[in-house]
Amino acid sequence: MLTILFDGVAYGMLLFVLACGLSVTLGLMNFINLAHGAFAMAGGYCTVILVNRLGVPFVLGVPIAFLVTALLGGLFERTLYVHVYARSHLDQVLFTIGLVFMSVAAVDYTMGSSQRFVQIPDALQGQFDVFGIGMGKYRLLIIVICGLLTIALQLILAKTRFGSRLRAAVDDQRVARGLGINVGAVFGITFAVGSGLAGLGGALGAEILGLDPTFPLRYMIYFLIVVTVGGTSSIVGPFLASILLGIGDVAGKYYVPTLGAFVIYAIMIVVLIWRPQGLFARSTAR
């Protein structure tokens, strides 16, 4: 029972790191980025190449994956995404789905369609036994890393100058522009960091989530659930939503395995009907 809770929390934390970039882009630019999972996949494959092929230590491979994906995200943002912000939602959906299709086929072509695993160092394998609860070392590491990241993100958002600019831009873009905030630059950096975090999540989660070319399609719906259920106005909402989703999914698969993901989709639809703005969102005028 508690092991399921523990696994669920680890899974939820991972989902949060994967999806938090998406929630910011959606809230800030009102941009529907279905290709967010492609960046996570990029991070995962980057780690696979680094650790398995080039023999880079795992501890070093994961941060490199973060940097590479962040660079990739920044590059895409500056060259492609900027043209699409002002378009209709239909255009955004088409554009990002196109990117997803391309990334799936490209990875299939270069890496093959079979599932890949990252070699985790021996020190991280195995289990602790605390008060009769089996805790995987690797999952514990994920919880620690993701927890620290969450706290860091919350601090950056709440305490730094950049964070207040970002929040201002999310709340009202026009006024923020009028106050002299360079919304484009703020957004570019946020997008890059968000993609980087997705890449980090993909790198850490390759073991748990499974890494193959259809990754962006399989997890797209999960990211969107986190964002729509959690709301886009703060970081706490998506965090709670991902923890709930993680526990719900793990518990659902354990107790009623035959229903599969049905429970998750049903909960999502109910929540969206009940509170279209998200479960934890402040009611905003928009």
Partner 1 sequence: MVTTSATAPLTPVLADDVAAYLKRRSRWSPLEVVFWIFAFASIWLFPDKYLILKDTAILALFALSLDLILGYAGIISLGQAAFFGIAGYFSGLVAKYGLINEPVIALVCSGVVAAALGFVTSFLVLRGSDLTRLMVTLGVSLMLGEVANRYASITGGADGLQGVDIAPVLGRWSFDLYGHNGYVYCLIVLFVCFVIARRIVYSPFGLSLRSLKGNALRAAAIGIPVKWRLVAIYTVSAGFAGIAGALLTQTTAFCSLDVFSLERSADLLLVLIIGGTGYLYGGLIGAVIYKFLQDWIATLTPQYWQFWIGLVLVVIVLVGRERVEGWIAAARGSVARLGDRLWTRIRPRSAALGGAADGD
Instruction: Please report, as ranges, the residues that interact with partner 1 according to CB under 8 A.
Output: 26, 32, 80, 83-84, 87, 89-91, 93-95, 97-106, 108-109, 217, 220-221, 224-225, 228, 258-262, 265-266, 268-269, 272-273, 276
Q: Which is nearer to partner 1, 2 or 266 (CB)?
A: 266
Q: Secondary structure of 37-86 in the HEC alphabet? A: HHHHHHHHHHHHHHHHHCCCCHHHHHHHHHHHHHHHHHHHHHHCHHHCCC
- Closest contact distance (angstroms) between CB of 274 and partner 1 is 10
Closest residue by Cα to residue 250 from 260, 240, 241 = 260
Q: How far apart are CA 165 and CA 226, in angstroms?
A: 24
| Burial class of residue 69, CB neighbours in 10 A (0-12, 13-18, 19+) | buried
Min dist CB 225 to partner 1, Å, is 8
Indicate the residue among 80 and 151 with the shorter CB distance to partner 1. Answer: 80
In angstroms, what is the minimal distance from the CB of 103 to partner 1?
8
> In this complex, which beta carbon is closest to partner 1, that of residue 110 or of residue 160?
110
Judged by CB, which is closer to partner 1: 104, or 204? Answer: 104
Distances in Å between the alpha carbon of 237 and those of 41, 163, 282? 24, 17, 10
Q: Name every residue whose Cβ is closer than 8 Å to that of residue 46 and which is 6 or more positions away in sequence.
A: 61, 64, 65, 68, 69, 199, 203
Cβ at position 171, least distance to partner 1 in Å: 17
To the nearest whole angstrom, how small is the minimum distance from the Cβ of residue 41 to partner 1? 14
State which residue, 82 or 181, has the beta carbon closest to partner 1. 82
